[in-house]
Amino acid sequence: MSYLRDSGRLIDFAVAHRTISGGPFDFEGHEYLKGLYLEEEPVVVVRKAAQMGASEYGITRALFFAVRYGGRVIYYFPTDHDVTEFSQDRFRPALKDSPYLSALMRDTDTTGLKKIGRGSIYFRGTTSRTRMKSVPADFLIFDEVDEMIPENLELARKRLGHSAFGHELYLSTPTLPGYGIDQIYEESDQRHYLLRCPGCSRWHCLEDEFLQAHGSPRDVREEIVFVKGRPGYETLICTRCGHALDPGTGAWAARHPGRRSHGYSISKFASTALSAKERALGAHTKPAALLAQWKRTRFPAEFFNSELGLPYLAAEGGLSEHELLGLVGDYPLMASGRGCVMGVDQGSGLHIVIKEPTDDDYLLTVYVHHEPLTDERFTYLDHLMGDFDVRACVIDALPNTHAARAFARRFSGRVYLSYYNAGKGRAAFSFDPENTPVVSVNRTEAFDAWRDGYKQGLRRIPRVEGPVGEYVRQMTNILRAVREDPTTGAKRAVWIKRGPDHYAHADSYAELAHKRTRTRYATATILG
């Protein structure tokens, strides 16, 4: 026991001091986890299916770090509610189950902070930016990255500051390709769990084989090519020689060896542990349970994310660079215009898009600009209102509502502060209590309309020079996805950011402003 305690390896610490569901810690049914417990790199990324032992791994890493290095760990969750639940239901039992760890506990035992040995472990939600700024750290753990706001993740990383350790651990079930955990995994050395066929010696990456055979949304989902056998007892087989494959004897292989961060992709095909629910549904093996789930699921996104640990993009996505470049016209960025509309996004300064309507219903982007530094009244915007003869401008109301309102006051009746709402229906133009014109719009519907304008070919973009390249890039950084509620099965469309997307918001605001001018014009026609 004392030898294990002093070996200085995570895996020995886990075996000596951790339990699994009250029993001894071992890797049975979860052999793929061994690679993670032997990991010694400072930055580790785990893109995983649901319930693969990743949070237990996070707990073990946190405890080990606090005890061995006396460092400060911050364990991040999407919300404060998740913090309370995790701290009480998962972390406290981990301490209670081990006399060694219990003895190391010091004075403080609160939901948000555990002091153990010379180290400490903080639990934090990622919704409050102010609370996230509070403590410096040596080791950051992010649990369920895809449920976190990307900017807040960036803010949290600053907590590492000048730590001599600078350890990071990212855990999450993926959602969209190139977003959240998938993006972080893509930048890693991309390890896959490979199974070697004892019959023909060929190595198999089952996720790849699944994608090749069943990656099409039109797949009828009646079979999985490498799952065969008596119903309820199916096993994994080699698609070349038919020999059975054993997930217990797999090996991790990196696609990009030598990269700084180590990434692990974990699907349920790596596991042989059956849940009580899977047993109740008549499965006697893990592959049988997965095949049943695959046949049963109405929407493949949930299967890809939660069972395969792979990202999935449903339906049509957003606007592609190819589509946008197809709309580039033979004109440069302009310095002035006539009867224009303007959209302004706040956040890292101001992102501005000005569009000019044509008589034949086209809308030309004529001006694109990023102003990094602004004053408290947004006076930078003033000259544009005149130079481009701006009839309507929609500006992001947040975060600096005060400045946006000051700008709106200077151009009475032409500037609208925009707020996103969760309701249904069209954009609603009205006034706020201070009598400033405002527009309230459903985010999904605003971006759907924005995308449709481009899809219909009724938009033009200036020659790609200066800021236009960045403008196009940012407009492809927002993606439409259909999310399925795992319990009710209800589907909901959302636009998700996968990188800087300020210009996409500014562009969509300009579209809203255009809609406003057209409504007014129509009214005038009827009245006249």
Query: Helix and strand tally (H, E) in the chain?
Result: 20, 25
Give the nearest distance from C-beta 30 to Zn ion in angstroms. 24
Q: Can you say whether the dihedral through the CA atoms of 145, 146, 149, 155 is positive or negative? A: positive
Is residue 463 a contact point for Zn ion (CB under 5 A)? no
* Contacts (Cβ under 8 Å, ≥6 apart) of 338: 356, 388, 389
Q: CA angle at residue 183 from 178 to 188, to 5 degrees? A: 140
Contact string 469-498 vs Zn ion (x = CB under 5 A): ------------------------------
CB atoms within 10 A of CB 520: 13
What residue type is assigned to position 382 of the chain?
Answer: D
Is residue 522 a contact point for Zn ion (CB under 5 A)? no
CB atoms within 10 A of CB 107: 5
The one segment of 176-184, 239-247, 290-298, 487-495 that binds Zn ion by CB under 5 A: 239-247
Q: Whole-angstrom Cα distance, residue 353 to residue 374?
A: 16
* Footprint (CB under 5 A) of Zn ion, residues 176-205: 197, 199-200
Give the nearest distance from C-beta 307 to Zn ion in angstroms. 24
Give the nearest distance from C-beta 243 to Zn ion in angstroms. 5
Q: Whole-angstrom Cα distance, residue 112 to residue 74?
A: 10
Give the nearest distance from C-beta 423 to Zn ion in angstroms. 56
Q: CA angle at residue 463 from 461 to 467, to 5 degrees? A: 85
Which tokens hold the place of 66? 């606090």
Is residue 349 a contact point for Zn ion (CB under 5 A)? no
Please pick, from the candidates 49, 74, 238, 427, the single residue that binds Zn ion as defined by CB under 5 A: 238
Q: How far is CA 156 from CA 101, 185, 187, 318, 466, in A?
A: 28, 18, 19, 29, 32
Give the nearest distance from C-beta 198 to Zn ion in angstroms. 8
The one segment of 67-75, 142-150, 233-241, 371-379 that binds Zn ion by CB under 5 A: 233-241
Contact string 141-180 vs Zn ion (x = CB under 5 A): ----------------------------------------
Give the nearest distance from C-beta 248 to Zn ion in angstroms. 17
Please pick, from the candidates 118, 230, 240, 402, the single residue that binds Zn ion as defined by CB under 5 A: 240
Give the nearest distance from C-beta 250 to Zn ion in angstroms. 14
Please pick, from the candidates 50, 225, 241, 398, the single residue that binds Zn ion as defined by CB under 5 A: 241
Which is it for strands 227-228 and 235-236: parallel, antiparallel or unpaired? antiparallel
Q: Whole-angstrom Cα distance, residue 385 to residue 372?
A: 19
Q: Which is nearer to Zn ion, 201 or 275 (CB)?
A: 201
Give the nearest distance from C-beta 197 to Zn ion in angstroms. 3
Please pick, from the candidates 196, 243, 370, 473, the single residue that binds Zn ion as defined by CB under 5 A: 243
Q: Which is nearer to Zn ion, 121 or 197 (CB)?
A: 197
Q: Whole-angstrom Cα distance, residue 159 to residue 516?
A: 44
Q: How far is CA 186 from CA 176, 178, 198, 231, 259, in A?
A: 12, 8, 31, 36, 11
Residues that bind Zn ion (CB under 5 A): 197, 199-200, 238, 240-241, 243
